[in-house]
Amino acid sequence: MLDEDKDPEQILVQFKAAQKGLDKARYLLLDEVYRKTLAIRIVNAVDECPGNCGNEDRIELIKKQFPNLQLDELSEKLSEMKEIEERLSRYNAENPASEK
C-alpha cells in the first residue's frame, strides 16, 4: 500500500487490523500455554499429595476452577501451584513414602 501511494487513513486501518489479529493470536497462544502448564502442575500436585499434605483442599479448588479461569487468573494460579509444588516437595522429603 505504501508503494502504491494509498491514502494514509487506509494504511492506518490496515495496520490496526493487523495489530488486532496479532493481539488475538498472542492471547490465544498464551492462554493455551498457560492452561497446559497449569494442568500439568495440577496433575503433578494431585500425584504428590497423599491426601493429608495440607494442600489438598486448595489443589481441589484450583482443579474445579480450571475450566473457567481467565488468562490473568491463569498466571496467578500458576504461581500458586508453584508454591504448592514447593511445599509438597518439602513435605514429601520430610515424610518418606514408607511413613505415608
Tell me the domain boundaries of the chain. 8-94
Query: How many other CB atoms are there within 10 angstroms of residue 55's CB atom?
Result: 19
Average pLDDT of the residues in 33-51: 92
pLDDT at 51 over 60: yes
- Which residues have CB under 8 Å from 59's CB, separation 6+? 42, 45, 46, 49, 84
Contact 53, 24 (CB under 8 A): no
* Average pLDDT, integer, range 21-46: 94
Alpha-carbon distance values, 26 to 17, 32, 96 (Å): 14, 10, 43
53 secondary structure, DSSP code:
S
How does pLDDT run across 55-93, given as a tens digit for each residue?
999 999 999 999 999 988 999 999 999 999 999 998 888
**pTM for the model:** 0.73
